[in-house]
Structure 1
Amino acid sequence: MPKFAILLLLLVVVLYASCGNDDGPVIENEEEVITDLVYTLVPTGGGQAVTMAFRDPDGDGGQAPTLTVSDSLQTDQTYSGTIVLTNASDPTDVEDITAEIRTEALDHQFFYIPSSGLTVTPAYADSDAQSNPIGLLTTLRTADASSGELRIVLRHKADKRASGVTITDPAGAGGETDIEVTFPVSVR
């Protein structure tokens, strides 16, 4: 086979290989769209549950989100907390973001940050495969009567082992904030 034919064949092979499917870059883990967040606190000794709900069906911009808190927390009480997140931007196809976070637990961490003066102490009640906190399940301990705000933050790709990072302090965790919601809370 002449050198020209070999070079031509090689050129055809190279061109064919470079003309593959070019759909653009593959996004490994696209940021979650979260339109609804519901944090439910159930007293461990029995009693009335308290539900904190955030709803923003049209996402960022447009109409303002709605925040509701069903009741006050009771003094000197321990609550078991469960958080549920959904994407209801398409009401005919509501997506369970909580399941996605559970599946990608290594990449997600919630933070529960009470304002100064609010007498609540949150704690993690779940962990990922590397024994680092997630925050889908929590406990919340109340003390004396007080009022303030409880800020809930979900971070994606946070450094869960960074120095100083706690359930109430995400400052050193880094990562991207998937959602941040602040609820008015009272303890009575």
Structure 2
Amino acid sequence: MQSIRTALWTVLAVSFLAGACKNDEQNVAPTDDNEALTTAILSLTNTANAQDVVTATIENLNTTADFTKATLNLKANATYSGAVQLYDKTQTPTLDATTEIREKANEHLFVYTPSAANLLTVTITDKDSNPTPGPYPIGLAFTLKAGVAAMGKLKVQLRHQPNAKNGTSAPGSDDLNVDFPVTII
């Protein structure tokens, strides 16, 4: 009877410790503060016509966002080279957060998610300097292939992933999470 009780206590203690370790591994605490952002700008240049430039801007991200200049008006089946710029206009002078993200590329990942899924395809073209199994994508530079005529949205997330970046969007927290309206004609 005593050996059964000892065995049960041992199993209980091991289960408790294993559960505690598992929780610690999943909860990655950031080492830096998230980026303070007020403005997000997407700039797209048609690869077949450099004169065809599309710029979309969302202002006041930290208050009531202003979407008056946020729509991406794209040509059907066109391919664009893209770049994202982020600013904190609460600073004097205005802080170019894009520079800081580039400097801390090993801690940041942009995630581009269209809705509907066949609206467009985004391919990130820049990489960080994380060691193997990296390097991992950053997302400050990308290509965007528009689908057929349609309307939808492009969600742009900037994931802050200090000491946790692994090429996926799972670890970390959002520095940015906005939807740009998309019209393809």
- TM-score (normalizing by structure 2): 0.74
Structure 2 counterparts to residues 103-142 of structure 1, below 5 A: 103-116=103-116, 118-130=118-130, 131-142=135-146
Q: Which has the higher contact order (CA 8 A, sep 6+)?
A: 2
Deviation at 1:143, TM superposition (A): 2.1
> Conserved in 2, the CA contact under 8 Å of 1:125 and 1:137?
yes
Give the 3-state SS of the residue equivalent to 1:72 in structure 2.
strand
Q: For the residues of structure 1 that align with 2:72 and 2:180, how far apart are their CA atoms?
A: 12
- Residues 42 and 65 of structure 1: CA distance in aligned 2, closer, same or farther (over 3 Å): same
What displacement does 1:181 show? 0.8
Decide which moves more: 129-138 or 40-49: 40-49
Q: Select the structure that is richer in helix.
A: 2
- Specify the alignment match of 1:82 in structure 2: 83
Q: Shift in Å at residue 122 of structure 1?
A: 0.2
Q: Distance in 1 between matches of 2:161 and 2:31?
A: 12
> Aligned partner of 1:132: which letter?
Y
Counterpart of 2:9 in structure 1 is: none
Give the alignment of 1:58-97 within 5 angstroms: 59-60=62-63, 64-67=64-67, 68-69=69-70, 72-90=73-91, 92-97=92-97
Bigger radius of gyration among the two: 1
- How many percent of aligned residue pairs carry the same amino acid? 32
Secondary structure of the structure 1 residue equivalent to 2:176:
strand
Aligned equivalent of 2:39, options 36, 45, 51 = 36
In structure 2, the CA distance between the partners of 1:175 and 1:28, relative to structure 1 (3 Å rule), is: closer
CA contact 2:126–2:139 (8 Å) conserved in 1 = yes
Point out where structure 1 has 5 or more consecutive residues left out of the alignment.
1-26
- Tell me what 1:156 maps to: 160
Query: Secondary structure of the equivalent of 1:133?
Result: coil
What's the Cα RMSD here? 2.0
SS of structure 1 residue aligned to 2:32: coil
SS at match of 2:128: coil
Question: Matched residue of 1:126: which SS?
Answer: coil
The change in CA–CA distance for 1:134 and 1:75 in structure 2 (over 3 A counts) is same
Structure 1 letter corresponding to 2:161:
K
Larger mean Cα displacement after TM superposition, 176-185 or 116-125: 116-125
SS at match of 2:116: coil
- Cα offset for 1:174? 2.2
Q: Structure 2 counterpart of 1:177, which letter?
A: D
